[in-house]
């Protein structure tokens, strides 16, 4: 059976605790990804350019929210 993740918006007043290597003006939104049991899998940041980054770090970008979420879950599963 497939498990469903939940993706929630992170309020702008909490962004300073999350983003690393970005200016807040470069960010469109920050999303928190949770497993079905409620634990946090990680954070996805969307830039003004429409690229997605994992855990607030600009190391690797993804072209879609789905691709970023899949990478985040796969990364956590292999850890």
| pLDDT value of residue 1 | 44
pLDDT in tens, 50-67: 999 998 777 889 999 999
| pLDDT value of residue 24 | 82
Q: Is the pLDDT of residue 70 over 70?
A: yes
Q: Please give the structure tokens belonging to residue 11.
A: 């309020």
- The stretch 36-56 carries a mean pLDDT of 90
pLDDT in tens, 8-37: 999 999 988 887 777 888 889 999 999 889
């Amino acid at each position: 059976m497939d498990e469903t993740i939940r993706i929630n918006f992170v309020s702008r007043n909490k962004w300073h605790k999350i983003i690393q290597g970005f200016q807040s003006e470069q960010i469109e939104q920050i999303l928190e990804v949770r497993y079905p049991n409620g634990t946090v899998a990680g954070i996805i940041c969307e830039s003004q350019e429409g690229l997605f980054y994992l855990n607030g770090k600009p190391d690797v970008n993804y072209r879609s929210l789905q691709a970023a979420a899949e990478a985040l879950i796969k990364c956590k599963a292999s850890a």
